[in-house]
Structure 1
Amino acid sequence: MTQTVNKAAIARAFGRAAQSYNRHAELQRLSGEALFSLARGREQKQVLDAGCGPGWFSKRWRSAGNRVTALDLSPAMLNEARLGDTADAYQLGDIEALPFTDAAFDVCWSNLAVQWCSDLRLALAEMRRVTRPGGQVLFSTLAAGSLNELNQAWQALDLPAPVNRFLSEAQIAEAGSSLGLRLITQTQTLAFPDVLGALRSLKGIGATHLHQGRRDGLLSRHHLSQLAQSWPRDERGFLLSYHLLYGVIDCE
């Protein structure tokens, strides 16, 4: 349940995508709305948005009548959230070492961020630590089985697919087993008009950092043609599927 990650490189990757993020964040909005529906109470709360990105859901929580603290690993993302006046307070920080006192929040929320952590067990323990008795930890993450279309298409190039490995559902459940974690599963499939659209959707949200490093060189037209021939599609277009897990910890 641990992985070696370069936090500075992750922050830079998401920083480069800070201004384009909201234009490509369809998955994040879909998963966030599903996660939001699991909250017991949605007003007059002290909320931490852990891994806030440009602050889409910080603003969502704030508009519902809560006081929101936005936290992100990327200074550029945090600045984008600040420019949008999305929260009441802004904090640069790491989910695995939250810079807050115990029991500081009623809700600790994290939408599609913890998959970038090096130790999920530690990340969940930290979110639980800063949440008050009677509060909730709510998070979404990606699990094994995500982006299978990308993996399948890349086999045509005889190259490793540019995608990180995700923890299995069982591993994610084990990471939160001592915290009373409940998990809900969902598969979301997005469609794009062409291969470049699918790849740009990943680049546009900063999700192109590879923990194992990136191969040199750009994709040629021939490579793109090969990908288009082998990429799974239907009448909607070229597909990208995500295996989503929604986690709920009710704090006693």
Structure 2
Amino acid sequence: MTHKINKQAVAQAFGRAADGYDRFANFQRDSGERLMALLPPAAAGRVLDAGCGTGWFSRRWRAQGHQVIALDLSPGMLAQARRDASAHHYLLGDIEALPLQSHSVDLSWSNLALQWCDDLAQGLRELCRVTRPGGQVLFSTLAEASLQEVRSAWQAVDDYQHVNRFLSESAIRQAGAGMALRLHCETVVQHFPDVLSALHSLKGIGATHIHQGRASGLLTRQRLHQLAQHWPQDEQGYLLSYQLITGVIDCE
């Protein structure tokens, strides 16, 4: 359930992507909408958006009348969220060591950020710690079958790692052991007209950072052609799939 992540490199990767992030973040918005659908209408309260990115969903929560705390590991992302007046408060911080008092929010929300934790169980414990009894933690993350098309295509080209390894569904479930956790797993598939568009979608959301170090080599025209030959596709185009995990924790 643990893997060492260079948090500074992650923050820098997302910071570089901040300006254009929302142009590419279709999957992130889709994931967030699926997460939103798990919550019944609730009275206005205090919401933590942990891993807020550009503040897209912070603004959604704020528009619904909630007091919103936007937190992110990346100064660049947090600056973008602030420029868009996404929240009431902005915090630079790590989900695994939240700079908040215990039981200080009504809802902790984290959309596609927990996969950047060294220790997922610690991240979940922190989200529960800052949430009041009777409140909830809602999160989404990625599991090991995500981006398998990218992985298989690159394996035919070179021996370097080009895609992060994500935890299995069972490991994610185990990270929530002892918590009142409800977990759901589904596969979400995107289609692109060509391989370069698919790769740009990953780079545009900062997802090109590799836990164990960057992949080697430039993306030459020849390599792009090789990738296209081995990249799975169907009648709608080149595939990019995500194994999406959504979870709800009832805090006691």
| Shorter-chain TM-score above 0.5 | yes
For the pair 1:92 / 2:92, whether they are aligned, the reply is yes
Does the 8 Å CA contact 1:42/1:64 hold for their aligned counterparts?
no
Q: How many residues align?
A: 252
Deviation at 1:155?
A: 2.0
Gaps of 5+ in 1: none
Alpha-carbon deviation of 1:235?
1.6
Which secondary structure does the structure 2 equivalent of 1:22 belong to? helix
Shift of 1:160: 2.9
Q: For residues 205 and 130 of structure 1, do their structure 2 counterparts lie closer, same or farther at Cα, with a shift above 3 Å needed?
A: same
CA offsets per residue over residues 102-121 of structure 1, 9 Å max, x none?
00100000000000000000
Task: State the Cα deviation string for residues 155-193 of structure 1 (Å, max 9, x = none).
Answer: 220323411100000000000011121101111100111
1:156 partnered with 2:161: no
Give the drift of 1:154. Answer: 1.0
The question of 1:204 aligning with 2:204 is answered yes
Q: Please state whether the residue corresponding to 2:178 is helix, strand or coil.
A: helix
Partner of 2:4: 4
Residues 47, 109 of structure 1: 8 Å contact kept: yes
Alignment of 1:16-35 (within 5 A): 16-35=16-35
CA contact under 8 A between 2:160 and 2:215: conserved in structure 1? no
Match of 1:79 in 2: 79
Secondary structure of the 1:157 match is: coil
Q: Is 1:251 the equivalent of 2:251?
A: yes
Q: How does 1:110-189 map to 2 (within 5 A)?
A: 110-189=110-189
CA distance in structure 2 between the partners assigned to 1:43 and 1:143 by the alignment: 32
For residues 141 and 224 of structure 1, the distance between their equivalents in structure 2, rounded to whole angstroms, comes to 29
1:128–1:137 contact (8 Å) kept in structure 2: yes
CA contact (8 A) 2:3 2:118 kept: yes
Deviates more, 1:216-225 or 1:49-58: 216-225
> Which whole-Å CA distance do the structure 2 matches of 1:193 and 1:185 have between them?
27
Q: Is the 8 A contact 2:161 2:215 kept in 1?
A: no
Is the contact made by 1:101 and 1:130 (CA closer than 8 Å) also made in structure 2?
Answer: yes
| 1:146–1:241 Cα contact (<8 Å) kept | yes
TM-score, normalization by structure 2: 0.98
Structure 2 gap segments, 5+ residues each:
none
**Partner SS for 2:15:** helix
RMSD: 1.0
Tell me the alpha carbon deviations over residues 11-62 of structure 1, each in whole angstroms, 9 at most, x when there is no partner: 0000000011100000100000000111244440100000000000000111
Structure 1 segment 58-77 matched on structure 2, within 5 A = 58-77=58-77
Partner residue of 1:218?
A: 218
Say if 1:191 and 1:236, in contact at 8 Å, map to a contact too: yes
Q: Is the 8 A contact 1:184 1:245 kept in 2?
A: yes
Q: Contact 2:160–2:216 (CA<8 Å) still a contact in 1?
A: no
Provide runs of 4+ in structure 1 moved above 2 Å. Answer: 40-43, 158-161
Distance 2:140 2:215 in 1: 29
**More divergent stretch after superposition (201-210 vs 153-162):** 153-162
Identity of counterpart residues, as a percentage? 61
Aligned equivalents of 1:15 and 1:82: distance in 2? 14
Distance 1:110 1:145 in 2: 20
